[in-house]
Amino acid sequence: MIANSHKIDWRVPAVFNPLLEDGLRYLGAWGGRGGAKSHFFAGYCVIQMLNGANVLCVREIQKSINNSVKRLIESKIKEFDVERFFTFTENSIRCNYNEAICMFRGLQSHTADSVKSLEGFDICWVEEAQSLSDRSLTLLVPTIRKEKSRLLFSWNPMRPTDPIDMMLRGPNLPTNAAVVHANWSDNPWFPEVLEQERLDCLNNNPEKYGHIWQGEYSTVLEGAYFAKHLTQAQLDRRIGRVARDPIMKTYAFWDIGGTSSRSDATAIWIGQFVGTEVRVLDYYEAVGQPFEAHINWLRANKYEDVVCVLPHDGRKHDSVYQVTPQSFLREAGFAVEVVPNQGAGAAMQRIDAVRRLFPSISFNEETTKGGRDALGWYHEKRDEVRGIGLGPEHDFSSHGSDAFGLLAIFKNGMKTEGDWNEPLRRNLKGIV
């Protein structure tokens, strides 16, 4: 074999070592820019071709060969000093030694019948796999089915619901799969020019930094209300393991949805105030569920003793059950506080309150992912023609963000409706 007789200087960052194990069918590498994912797989494909494997390189959409990884593979061939063993055509690369071939395709244009033409390949590398549709993934996997064939995936994640993330970052990996997380910090040959780009991004576009350089989900939009604050919390290590203080009071901050399948979601943040610190412990969201479901979640997660803090509409009757959330929770044994309507500009009041409070907030990473996703996406709706803002966009992120705004309003000392209806108390002997 040429790969064995010709000494190739293939420098592989240690993070990729699990992908070199024998017997793997699925090899995945995800992460941010500069992590050498594409360089690793390009080198892997060259060596496999030298050993006789036919290689297919695909993307979801490939309008021209310039959109492919062809140039990168060619550069690896030159780097390995094995150009004499290869022939380059406009749309392919062929190994002269053993007739192995490397082809480049876009998957979106394939049908169930046409994809059968890809069956003869030993290796399939999907670059930019975050763009892969469920349809394309469903067509591709059973097509690459030769004995000992392998599927390679490299990507910078966008959303946890993307097909590639659900397959290779979900709770149940396929059999014979290895997946690694590779960032710039895992690359011992990270170039100096990229280091300056990384620092510029951190300083100038911190809301994008986590996704671009750390491989985090794209949970923020440019101009999102809390994007910079979430990035700073990550850099300050305020997103990690946050424990519940068993002595301090625990609160559940609600944004109330309805009970039909078309209703807005109900969102709940669980938090504590420990001195000046705000500990955010948990997040819950559900659509179209009766109030019993929300209460069951609280109880199942040992939040039976929380104080439920509701927005002003917590006094309104549910259109199905004709019972108020406030009364339902009290009958279920929960203490309830209702924050009054902030009036005109309530949404921006909540946003400003959250921004002021953010430096004091710590998140329990594992249990607040969905909520932080909502916070990072919450953004202003724009009239692009007139160039003006129209207030917060009402989408999936609104409910979690509104509930979080309630937390901030409550923490910042706004009196609750319950306080107004109670007699003034003095903690002095002889005075009531």
pLDDT tens per residue across span 165-219: 999 998 889 999 999 999 999 999 999 999 999 999 988 877 778 889 999 877 5
Return the minimum-mean-pLDDT range out of 2-11, 133-142, 194-203, 252-261. 2-11
What was the pLDDT predicted at 5? 47
Hunting for tokens 């209460």 — which residue is that?
295
Q: Which two tokens stand for residue 129?
A: 């796999």
What was the pLDDT predicted at 48? 94
Closest CA to 243 of 270, 223, 221: 270
* Alpha-carbon span 179 to 12, nearest angstrom: 16
Asked if pLDDT for residue 424 goes beyond 80, the answer is no
Output the pTM of the full model: 0.58
* Alpha-carbon span 135 to 126, nearest angstrom: 14
* Alpha-carbon span 87 to 84, nearest angstrom: 8
124: pLDDT confidence band, cut at 50, 70 and 90? Answer: very high
* Alpha-carbon span 95 to 85, nearest angstrom: 6
Q: Which of 31-45, 302-316, 384-398 ranks highest by mean pLDDT?
A: 31-45
Asked if pLDDT for residue 403 goes beyond 90, the answer is yes
Return the minimum-mean-pLDDT range out of 36-40, 101-105, 302-306, 382-386. 382-386
Centre a 10 Å sphere on the Cβ of residue 44 and count the other Cβ atoms it contains: 23
Q: What is the location of CATH 3.40.50.300 in the chain?
A: 2-186
Asked whether the beta carbons of 6 and 155 are under 8 A apart, the reply is no
Q: 3-class DSSP state for residue 304?
A: coil
Closest CA to 33 of 167, 153, 209, 206: 209
Higher pLDDT, 332 or 207: 332
Higher pLDDT, 419 or 249: 249
Asked whether the beta carbons of 336 and 306 are under 8 A apart, the reply is no
113: pLDDT confidence band, cut at 50, 70 and 90? Answer: low
What average pLDDT does the chain have? Answer: 84
Burial of 132 (0-12, 13-18, 19+ CB in 10 A): buried
Closest CA to 255 of 335, 326, 314: 314
pLDDT mean over 152-167: 89
Higher pLDDT, 338 or 206: 338
Q: What is the location of CATH 3.30.420.240 in the chain?
A: 239-420
Query: Which ranges constitute the DSSP H helices of 1-52?
Result: 2-5, 37-50
pLDDT tens per residue across span 15-73: 999 999 999 999 999 999 999 999 999 999 999 999 999 999 998 887 666 667 999 99
Q: 3-class DSSP state for residue 226?
A: coil
What was the pLDDT predicted at 115? 66
* Domain covering 2-186, topology: Rossmann fold (3.40.50)
389: pLDDT confidence band, cut at 50, 70 and 90? Answer: low
Q: Which two tokens stand for residue 298?
A: 């609280």
Asked if pLDDT for residue 427 goes beyond 60, the answer is no
Q: Collect all residues with Cβ–Cβ distance below 8 Å to 182 and sequence separation of at least 6.
A: 13, 15, 16, 29, 30, 31, 35, 36, 37, 40, 215
304: pLDDT confidence band, cut at 50, 70 and 90? Answer: very high
Q: What percent of the chain has pLDDT over 90?
A: 50
What was the pLDDT predicted at 203? 86
pLDDT tens per residue across span 246-296: 999 999 999 988 665 566 789 999 999 998 899 999 999 998 788 889 999
Q: Which of 101-110, 193-202, 318-327, 422-431 ranks highest by mean pLDDT?
A: 193-202
Q: What percent of the chain has pLDDT over 70?
A: 82
pLDDT tens per residue across span 208-260: 788 899 998 775 555 678 877 887 888 788 999 999 999 999 999 999 886 65
Asked if pLDDT for residue 112 goes beyond 80, the answer is no
To 10 degrees, what angle do helices 192-204 and 206-214 make?
140
What was the pLDDT predicted at 423? 39
Centre a 10 Å sphere on the Cβ of residue 119 and count the other Cβ atoms it contains: 12
239-420: in CATH 3.30.420.240? yes
419: pLDDT confidence band, cut at 50, 70 and 90? Answer: very low
What was the pLDDT predicted at 263? 65
Asked whether the beta carbons of 150 and 25 are under 8 A apart, the reply is yes
pLDDT mean over 401-421: 72
First CA to last CA distance, the chain: 93
